[in-house]
Amino acid sequence: MGADLLTITLAAGMGTRMRSFIPKVLHPIGGRSMLAHVLSLAVELGGTKNIVVLGPELEETQETVVPAQICAQTVIQTQRLGTAHAVLSAIDHISSHDGNVLILYGDTPLLTIETLRKLTASLDDGADIVVLGFDAADPTGYGRLLQDTDGSLLAIREHKDADERERAVNLCNSGVFGFKADKLPDLLSRIKNDNANGEYYLTDTVELAKADGLEVAIVTCRELEVLGVNSRQQLASAEKIYQCRKRSEVMEGGATLLDPDSVYFSYDTKIGKDVLIEPNVFFGPGVTVADNVHIKAFCHLEQTQIGKGAAIGPYARLRPAAVIGENAKVGNFVEIKKSTIEEGAKVSHLTYIGDARIGKNANIGAGTITCNYDGFNKHFTDIGEGAFIGSNSALVAPVKIGDGAFVGSGSVVTRNVDKNSLAVSRAKQRQIDDWGIKFRRMNKSTKVKKQESS
């Protein structure tokens, strides 16, 4: 069992390159904010206390920045004077903590739990400071990890302050640090801002620690893990990397993606075994898919549960609180919202089902809609087991269709229909002989008169 862990996530950056009214760290990757991705790692890692450092413009809304399901506290960095200054905003928490401290960043959402466990393990094994480094394809702009001949870390030099020899180093600083809590306050108190940016760098703790005889370790990871998001282009790059991970995870779990690059998942998408997903399918947050489901092309799903053996699409939209039962069918151009489609029921084409229950083995004909909204309130439609709703029917809620009942095609149903009964609500069909001949003759005559007058 490792030492108690305090995590501090720095999220005070303005993110001006995003050109957005939304704080940078709240932009989403895989359906949730970058900050939430990082905080979820902190929780999974076992952080006994998790702190988020925010900028002053978020002080009034700080309670809404951290997702409700994630246990974290916020502190405000009143001035942006560098990374060490940001960490100092949480000094009260650091000083009262007995264990390890991990410094994370709210705009680095691709870190993995395996890498962070390596950092905390290094601290537990005796390091006083551990730095997360990576080999950069292009190190321009990154701080360099300067090592002694034996490979030990001597210092971290920011790019602007590095000389030509130091800039030739490819091993770079990710910004992620681990510290023994009892060493950090003193190190922070001695950091100066005599550098090109006039800022207080957290990286200066390395040289100070080496001078004190403390043990400084390096843990490395892949460059993609520590991609920082500072622009819309980098946001798109991070999304692409994240989606590649999720697609691999889903396929390794036993699902088939016919065209993986065209399928998009959310952070919490759960896919069962032997699920077949056709191209161009989008999963919003909150979707759970059981085994042996077939999701056809061009479907959009969010906050939805799909039971075993169900078939969805193509071109289906499942909105929040849609529950699709085992072996049910939701066909092309069907929209389901806040409704339960029970086992074996079929909603095959061109239909809207909202605020409803479709009973076991019921059949909903093409063009049917549940009229659930009266302009002020939503109302419920209940369709019983084995019921048959004819095509192009409008069910005006609140209304109940009994088990085994039939609704004739083209009906507008405004009253309950009893079990095993037939409801028909439409005008009696009439036939007017030769009406078409008279209609065409009349219109041709009118057209000739218009041409003559012009």
Q: What is the pLDDT of residues 134-148, one digit of tens each?
A: 999 999 989 999 998
Catalytic residue chosen out of the listed positions 27, 159, 349, 379: 349
Task: With cut-offs at 50, 70 and 90, classify the pLDDT of residue 59.
Answer: low
Mean of pLDDT values over 261-268: 98
Neighbouring residues of 236: CB distance < 8 A, sequence distance ≥ 6: none
3-state DSSP: the chain helix, strand, coil percent, rounded to 5? Answer: 25, 30, 45
Instruction: Report the pLDDT value the prediction gives residue 103, as an integer from 0 to 100.
Output: 98
- What Rg value do the Cα atoms of the chain yield, rounded? 31
Q: Is 349 a catalytic residue?
A: yes
Look at residue 60 and tell me whether its pLDDT is greater than 70: no
Domains of the chain as residue ranges with CATH: 5-226 (3.90.550.10), 232-423 (2.160.10.10)
Task: With cut-offs at 50, 70 and 90, classify the pLDDT of residue 347.
Answer: very high
Give the global pTM: 0.90
Instruction: Report the pLDDT value the prediction gives residue 382, as an integer from 0 to 100.
Output: 98
Instruction: Report the pLDDT value the prediction gives residue 1, as an integer from 0 to 100.
Output: 57
First to last CA, the chain: 95
Tens digits of per-residue pLDDT, 439-448?
899 988 877 7
**Among the listed ranges 144-153, 237-246, 281-290, 352-361, which one has the minimum average pLDDT value?**
144-153
SS3 173: strand
Instruction: Report the pLDDT value the prediction gives residue 449, as an integer from 0 to 100.
Output: 75
